[in-house]
Amino acid sequence: MANYQGGSVAAWRLNPDGSLGERTAFVQHSGHSINPQRQTHAYAHSIVVDLSNRFVLVADLGLDKLFVYRFDPANGSLTPNDPAYASITPGSGPRHVVFHPNGRWVYLITEMGSTVHLFDWSGQRGTLTEEQSISTLPRDFHGTSTAAEIKVSRDGRFFYASNPGHDSIAVFSIDQRNGRITSIQNVSSRGQMPRNFEIDPTGQWLLVTNHNSNSAAVFRIDRKTGRLAAVGQPVAVNYPFCPRFLERR
């Protein structure tokens, strides 16, 4: 678990009945970065486990770092890797991080910088090597915006990011040789402040929640091109944040 305001990460044992057991790890981040309003201390924004279940990545908005921890699934411990983190452009504010389905590439979005960073990932050593940094915004945009959510399509061919402020979803293609992304579309989220979105299990639909306009909108995903097309009308939802799909059994 990443604790945003507290700037810490923790792990708990999961009991057989699904309840939480004892806490098995706790790590407190410390320090700050260059933004005097947003980066006065650590803000651990997101946490994700790699595909081997041996490492954990933590994006810290307040420190401009992507931390790497070794994870022991037997006892739930977290220990700093060597090296312990990758440094991100000062003032950019790392937010969310995701692995490509092949496990070799890592994508990180920065909230204040509105950029996506591509890293080559070594699953043996737990190391990150930055290969690309690209804006989530159109080249002709000159207003104020941030970036929030990121997702990779299940087939690993396309990449999606949300832009609160510009109020759009950015669509990118992924080069299957090296993981680099290329912008192919930037479509209105059909509301204000699209903080989060989710792709359904079939890979055909994208559901975005527009926090400031109290609405949710659906887009059809073209499986061949990755491009989005709006479907129907947005529906009213009070203060929506993180949509999730649950499989029916």
Three-state SS string over 158-205 comes to EEEEEECCCCEEEEEEECCCCCCEEEEEEEECCCCCEEEEEECCCCCE
| pLDDT per position as a tens digit, 95-107 | 999 999 999 999 9
Confidence of residue 117 (pLDDT cuts 50, 70, 90): very high
Residue with tokens 């910088």: 113
Cβ 10 vs Cβ 2: under 8 Å:
no
| pLDDT per position as a tens digit, 183-232 | 999 999 999 999 999 999 999 999 999 999 999 999 999 999 999 999 99
pLDDT number for residue 247: 80
What mean pLDDT do residues 144-170 have? 97
| pLDDT per position as a tens digit, 23-79 | 999 999 999 999 999 999 999 999 999 999 999 999 999 999 999 999 999 999 999
Q: Which CATH number fits domain 2-199: 2.130.10.10, 3.40.50.1010, 3.30.360.10, 2.170.130.10?
A: 2.130.10.10
